[in-house]
Amino acid sequence: MVRGGVREDRCRPGVREAGDGGGDGQHDAGSGPKENGAPASEPQGGGQHGGGGRERGSAPGGPRRRRRVLRWSATVLAVLILGTAGAGYLYYEHLNGNIKKDDLNLGDKEIAGPTPNAAGQTPLNILLIGSDARDTKENQKLGGAKETFGGTPLADVQMLLHLSADRTNMSVISMPRDTLLQIPKCTDPDDGEVYPASAGPVMTNQSLGRGGPGCTVAAWQELTGIRIDHFMMVDFAGVVSMADAIGGVPVCVDANIYSKDSQGHGSGLKLKEGTTYVKGEQALQWLRTRYGFEDGSDIARAKAQHQYMNSMVRELRENATITNPNKLRNLAEEATDALTVDDGLGTVKKLYDLSTQLRGVEPERITMTTMPYTYVGARVIPKEGDAEQLFRLVRDDIALDGKDEKKPATEETSSDPAAPEDEIGVLVQNGTRTSTLGPVGGRASTVRGLLVEKGFTRTTADQTTAAAEDETVVRYPSAELEGDAQAVARALGIPLGQVEKSTDVSGVTLVVGADWREGTAYQAKKEDDTTPESADALNGADKKACMKVDPNFTW
C-alpha cells in the first residue's frame, strides 16, 4: 500500500489553468468513475484561475461582514451563503422549497447522546453522503454507465463530520465505499418496506439502497457507537453545480496525470504536474478519481477528497470570492437544489445556523482522516484496535489534532445506593471473541467465580457466547440498578467509565471483553488519546499536500 504521496511537497510554484485538463468522453461500466474529461467551459479572463469565475476579491474597503460569512468549515459548502442570499420572504420560501428532505435514521436502535460539557454544550455529528445515482439525464451524463440508469443508488462517498462541543475543532472520518460491514435492519419511510439486516458483511455503499440515507446513518451508528445528528447528501450534478458556483479550488499532483487506461477505466481527469485550480466537471473528476492516484484504490481517492476539501476551505477564507449578488443568488439556488437533508436541517435558516457554528473553526483545527482498515481480498474491514480507537476519540469529543487541553479524568458515582453484595443478581457473559481469535472457553464461569468470592453469590454465568466486545463492560437496564452495576465494577477493578445503561439487558450484566482474555485481575488499559497513524490524518492548514501519481497514468 502506497501511503506517502499525500504529504510530499512536489507542487511547483506555477498555477495551471483548469482548461489544461481533458478527456475523450468514454465511460466506465457500473458505478466506476466518469470518463468525460472535458473541463467546464467558461470564458478565460485576467485575474482568474481555472477558466473563470474566480474573482480575486471585492471592492477595496468592502464590508467585513461579507468576509466573515465566508469563514466556515470544509465540507458543507452548500451552506456558506444561505444567510445572505434571500432577497425577501418569497425568495426565502423558494429556496426552502428547493431543499429535499428524508428521514434521519431508518434503523431500530437508539444511541444515547453525549454528556454535555461544563458549559452545557454537546458535539455535533453530521454524515456527509455522496450518491452515485443515475436518476436524471444530467447525472447519467456525468456518471456514465448507461446500463445503470435508474438503478439502485450507492453511497459511494461517506464522511462523518464531527464538530466539537466547544466549537473549536472539527474532525472528519472517511469510510471507504468497499468497507465490509453488517448493515442493520432498515424500514423505508415511504412505502413501509422492511429491509432485514444483511445476512453477512456487505459493502457499506449498499446501505443507501435500503430505504434511503437514513439506512446509511443507521449502519454508521451501529458500527461506531457515535450518535449522528444530521445527514447531508449530494449527487453528481450537485457537486458540479456547486463547484462551478464557488469557483476554482487548487489541487496538486506530483506528476502529469491522465486518469484513463486502454480499457476505458478512469475518471478522465487530465492535469499537469503541480497545482491546478479545478471547478465544475473537473472538480467532480478529481473527487471521483481512483485510476492514477497512488495504488488506484478507494483509499487513495479519499486522500484526494480530503485535499480538495481542505483547499476549498482555505480559498473561501483567504479570498472573498463571492461578493457579487448574482453569484450569491446562483450559489444559493445551486446549493439548496443539490441537497437532500434530514428534517433537522430542512430550511435555509437551519442550514445557515449550522454554517454559523462551522465557520468559526480555523483550518489549523480541522483534521481529515480515513477509517483505519485491513484488506480482506479486494475489500477492507475496520482495522482491529485502531478503528475503534478513532471512533472512541470522536465519541468522547477528543480533538484528532492532539491540541485539546488535557483534563484529569473524573468518574461520577451514582446517587443510587448499591444493595448488599449477596442481594445483587449478576449475569456474566463471554464476549472475548475478536476478528482474528475465537472466544476463550469457560471465561464467563471463571469471572463468575471471582465475583462469588467477593460476596456476589447471586452471580450466574451465561454458557452461550455473547457478541464480541473490545472492552469489558458492565451494563444495567434502569436507574435503580446503576449503583449495583457500579458496585460490581469496583469489586473487579473495572473503571466506572465502562459501566453503561442499556436497554439490551434485563439486569446487571457483566460482559467479559477481549481486553480480559486471561488472568484473574482486570488490568484497565491506559487510554491512548492520540490519533492512530493508520488514520492517515491530514491537517486543514497543510498546503503541501500533493497526490502521488501512478507512473502508468502519466503523460
Specify the higher pLDDT residue, 550 or 134: 550
- Which helix (H) or strand (E) segment holds residue 277: the answer is strand 274-278
pLDDT score, position 455: 97
Average pLDDT, the chain: 81
Specify the higher pLDDT residue, 162 or 264: 162
Specify the higher pLDDT residue, 49 or 497: 497
Q: Cα torsion at 7, 10, 13, 19 (round to 10°)?
A: -90
pLDDT score, position 42: 36
pLDDT score, position 348: 87
**Is the per-residue pLDDT at 501 higher than 90?**
yes
Q: Taking the domain 421-516, which CATH number applies? A: 3.30.70.2390
Mean pLDDT (whole number) for 486-506: 94
Residue type, 79: V
Q: Are strands 274-278 and 15-16 parallel, antiparallel or unpaired?
A: parallel
Contact in structure between 70 and 79 (CB atoms under 8 Å):
no
**Is the per-residue pLDDT at 407 higher than 70?**
no
Q: Flag the least confident range among 131-145, 369-383, 421-435.
A: 131-145
Specify the higher pLDDT residue, 171 or 45: 171
Mean pLDDT (whole number) for 500-529: 92
- pTM value is 0.69
Q: Are strands 426-430 and 459-465 parallel, antiparallel or unpaired?
A: parallel
Q: 27-85, pLDDT tens digit by residue? A: 333 333 333 333 333 333 333 343 333 333 344 445 444 444 443 333 344 443 333 33
pLDDT score, position 416: 81
Percent of the chain with pLDDT over 90: 57
Q: 294-323, pLDDT tens digit by residue? A: 999 999 999 999 999 999 888 877 764 445
Mean pLDDT (whole number) for 203-209: 94
Phi, psi of 348 (to 5 degrees): -60, -40
Closest by Cα among 209, 195, 378 to 295: 378
**Is the per-residue pLDDT at 12 higher than 80?**
no
Beta pairing partners, 430: 465, 512
pLDDT score, position 352: 83
d(CA 282, CA 11): 19
The pLDDT confidence band at residue 405, using thresholds 50, 70 and 90, is confident
d(CA 176, CA 183): 15
Q: 355-367, pLDDT tens digit by residue? A: 888 888 999 999 9
Cβ within 8 Å of residue 182, ≥6 positions away: 197, 198, 200, 201, 202, 222
CATH 3.30.70.2390 location in the chain: 421-516
**Is the per-residue pLDDT at 247 higher than 50?**
yes
Q: 111-139, pLDDT tens digit by residue? A: 888 888 889 999 999 999 988 764 556 65
Q: Flag the least confident range among 75-89, 452-466, 522-536.
A: 75-89
The pLDDT confidence band at residue 337, using thresholds 50, 70 and 90, is confident
**Is the per-residue pLDDT at 534 higher than 80?**
yes
pLDDT score, position 133: 60
CA atoms within 13 A on the CB side of 438: 2
Q: Flag the least confident range among 144-153, 158-167, 427-436, 444-453.
A: 144-153
Cβ within 8 Å of residue 402, ≥6 positions away: 529, 530, 531
Specify the higher pLDDT residue, 235 or 423: 423
Phi, psi of 502 (to 5 degrees): -150, 135
pLDDT score, position 76: 42
Q: What number of other Cβ atoms are within 10 A of residue 25's Cβ?
A: 12
Mean pLDDT (whole number) for 97-120: 90
d(CA 446, CA 462): 11
Q: Flag the least confident range among 185-194, 281-290, 318-327.
A: 318-327
Mean pLDDT (whole number) for 218-233: 95
Cell digits of residue 510: 457483566
Beta pairing partners, 376: 379
Cβ within 8 Å of residue 294, ≥6 positions away: 2, 3, 5, 300, 303, 547, 548, 550
d(CA 440, CA 453): 21
Specify the higher pLDDT residue, 381 or 323: 381
By CB atoms closer than 10 A (0-12, 13-18, 19+), residue 277 is: buried
d(CA 18, CA 507): 63
- Which helix (H) or strand (E) segment holds residue 180: the answer is strand 180-181
DSSP string, 22-60: -------STT------PPPP----TT-STTS------ST
Contact in structure between 433 and 468 (CB atoms under 8 Å):
yes
